Structure 1
Amino acid sequence: MSYDTRFPKMRVARSCRNFEAIKRFYCDGLGFSLLGSFKGHNGFDGLIIGHPNAPYHLEFTKEQGITAPKAPDEEGLLVFYLPDKTEWQKRVDMIRNAGYEPVQSNNTYWDVDGITFEDPDGYRVVLQNRAWSN
């Protein structure tokens, strides 16, 4: 699958506390793939997680000798729009079967057609069962 090169691909990068816990949440729970990793790059180790053909991926880093803080609030969200009810339910079942339970969203808008989960660092992921529109 190719993407229009006039639009950039996106990487969301942030620090994390525990690579194994993050990998379990995003890969086992949400069905992402581990696309790459690195060690000792300018004092950082990292994981790159995503879907091989998607125009985005997530990078989680750990600065050597530093413990990353937890999420500053409950509005640190990643929202994934899954308009197909069957695919949405498959993702919800996958993350619940991995041992994660939904949390009440801080903004109840996200609870109308979605379910919110909290990752090991306190950041939240919304699985939204509707089409994305801008």
Structure 2
Amino acid sequence: MVPKLRVARPTNNLAALLPFYREGLGFEVLGSFEDHAGFDGLMLGHPQAPYHLEFTHERGCPAGGAPSAEHLLVFYMPDAAAWQQAVARMRGAGFAPVPSHNPYWDARGLTFEDPDGYRVVLQHAAWEV
């Protein structure tokens, strides 16, 4: 059995993140909660994927933004048509690529920045170990 991975991080504005991850990346809202011990949250992902993202907001506590331009989520997409479709979906949702801090990611991919300054790379390559 493969465990599921949850990547969790705080945000100052759940509503601002939703269009980037739902319309741009095509994630679905898998769950949400309000005022759970002072926290609001949103889980986004694909129902059958072995990972999902959780964004939380602690009421009355500023979260800040990305510590650096190297805080990345990288999605490896070897299929050309799927990669082009993902890029078109991001652009269609109003998100333009940004130059990557590390030029490696620009060689075969595009980088997009969410409203908190965290970056997502759509890499047109297979992940090989």
Length-normalised TM-score, structure 2: 0.97
Q: Distance in 1 between matches of 2:23 and 2:123?
A: 19
Query: 1:34-53, aligned counterparts within 5 Å?
Result: 34-53=29-48
| Deviation (angstroms), 1:66 | 1.3
Per-residue CA deviations over 1:8-66 (Å, capped at 9, x if unaligned) read 21000000121111110000011000100011112211000000000000000000111
> Map of 1:23-102 to 2, 5 A cutoff?
23-102=18-97
Amino acid at match of 1:121: D
Q: Secondary structure at the match of 2:96?
A: coil
Equivalent residues, number: 129
**TM-score, length-normalised on structure 1?**
0.94
**TM-align CA RMSD:** 0.8
Match of 1:106 among 85, 101, 107: 101
**In the aligned structure 1, how far is the partner of 2:23 from the partner of 2:16?**
10
**Distance in 2 between residues matched to 1:93 and 1:71, nearest whole Å:** 25
Aligned-partner SS, 1:99: coil
Aligned equivalents of 1:56, 1:45: Cα separation in 2: 20
Counterpart check, 1:133 vs 2:124: no
Structure 1, unmatched stretches of 5+, are none
